Amino acid sequence: MTFYNTLSIVIVLAAAFGYINYRYLKLPNTIGIMLMSLAASLILIATSWIHPALFNKSIMLISSVNFYNLLMKVMLSFLLFGGSIHINAANLKKQAIPVLTFSTIGVILSTFIVGILFFLIAGLFKLQINFIECLLFGALISPTDPIAVLGILREANIPQSLEIKITGESLFNDGVAVVIFISIFDIMQAGTENISVTNALLLFLKEAVGGLLFGTVLGYAGFMVLKSIDNYKVESMITLAMVMGGYLLADKLHISGPLAMVVAGIITGNKSRRDGMSNTTRDYVDKLWEMIDETLNAILFLFIGLQMLVIPFNMLVFWLGIISIIIVLASRFISVAIPINFLLFKTPFEKKSTTILTWGGLRGGISVALALSLPPGGYKEVIVSVTYIIVLFSITVQGLTIGKLVKKINHPK
């Protein structure tokens, strides 16, 4: 099946599920689309003995798409830039300390807590997974992806300062978690005896700091170009070029493309938007990136649901996944609570912030993509399956109840 045919089917399914969700289900668009694609997967599996040809073709369709490359090499740059372009830099600056703390120290804490607990639990299940592989699992499951429920949070009248904390953390910790994952993976490939703590730290700093600096340069370069002309068509194209060309160059320089996109997006959405664009250009650029963000999120969550067709499951993995959900929630609570208790001396936090940040810390497509990127062999299938179970629970259960939780906290009876 050609790439165009596959893309056509995906777009048709995303549009159809989006229509049904908007017309009848009334769920947040991404969650509704994922639930319908998940239901479609389960129906195909249940009826595979009646229509084996349809089932086999569906398997071939999903297997033909490299989910890791699709998300990490293509979609992620657009999603992060599109998300950060709407961030108010002034509000983000006020919450800079908690955002940076959660997206760095919080992610590192979560990585090690999940890694250690998963190593112990896997041993109880007689699975001899190496500790460094468990750390890799901790790194890939730690990034939060609350974009799917931001609309719910706004409807629940979440305080703006807490919304900025959640949004800012989700944008930055995606990049930080990917850097941590790559660093641990490189250590595993080289062998722990062949790499020092200093080398590992330098690798992390090169990826992270390099990405932040490159994003700053890219954002201001884009501002200078956008400021020099007034043509909404060309300027819209320039923002696309910044993302596609910038992400490609970051990859060639071996620095963090995700972090670069977040910084470039913030600069473009604030300085460039304020000082470098006319009202007409501003309107078109906003609508362009809103449309890109909505479309790619729909496709992403469609693929998450359809991955059910190709991810292996058995009862051992199922129960390991259920226990891992508890591990991930507990590690999220700890990795949020510790920084908050330290920051309370300087930074005010909203009522029940720890509870909201814990339950609102959804896991999404990045976790699945990183799990699928692991080399074949070993316990890759176990890690992929457990990751998928956690992501499904996170999006469906946490995603659909976080709004009610916030309303209950803000308006107790």
Residue 116 has pLDDT above 70, yes or no: yes
Can you give the residue ranges of every domain in the chain?
A: 3-63, 67-410
**Residues contacting residue 138 through CB under 8 Å, at least 6 positions apart:** 110, 111, 112, 113, 114, 115, 116, 118, 331
Residue 398 per-residue DSSP state: I
Cβ 173 vs Cβ 142: under 8 Å: yes
In this prediction, residue 166 has a pLDDT band, given cuts at 50, 70 and 90, of confident
pLDDT, residue 152, reads 66
pLDDT, residue 165, reads 87
**pLDDT tens digit string along 32-57?**
999 999 999 999 998 888 888 888 88
Residue 302 has pLDDT above 80, yes or no: yes
pTM of the predicted model, to two decimals? 0.93
Query: Does domain 67-410 sit in CATH 1.20.120.1150?
Result: no
In this prediction, residue 75 has a pLDDT band, given cuts at 50, 70 and 90, of very high
Q: Sign of torsion, CA 124 107 386 67?
A: negative
Distance CA 131, CA 114 (A): 11
Strand, coil or helix: what is 230? coil
From its phi and psi, is residue 126 left (phi > 0), alpha (psi between -120 and 50) or beta? left
Residue 408 has pLDDT above 70, yes or no: yes
Distance CA 397, CA 388 (A): 14
CA of 43: how far to CAs of 19, 306, 325, in Å?
A: 20, 11, 25
In this prediction, residue 146 has a pLDDT band, given cuts at 50, 70 and 90, of low
State mean pLDDT over 290-303: 92
Average pLDDT, the chain: 90
Which residue's structure tokens are 């592989």? 133
From its phi and psi, is residue 278 left (phi > 0), alpha (psi between -120 and 50) or beta? beta
**Residues contacting residue 42 through CB under 8 Å, at least 6 positions apart:** 308
Q: Report percent pLDDT > 90 for the chain.
A: 62
State mean pLDDT over 151-180: 80
Residue 262 has pLDDT above 90, yes or no: yes
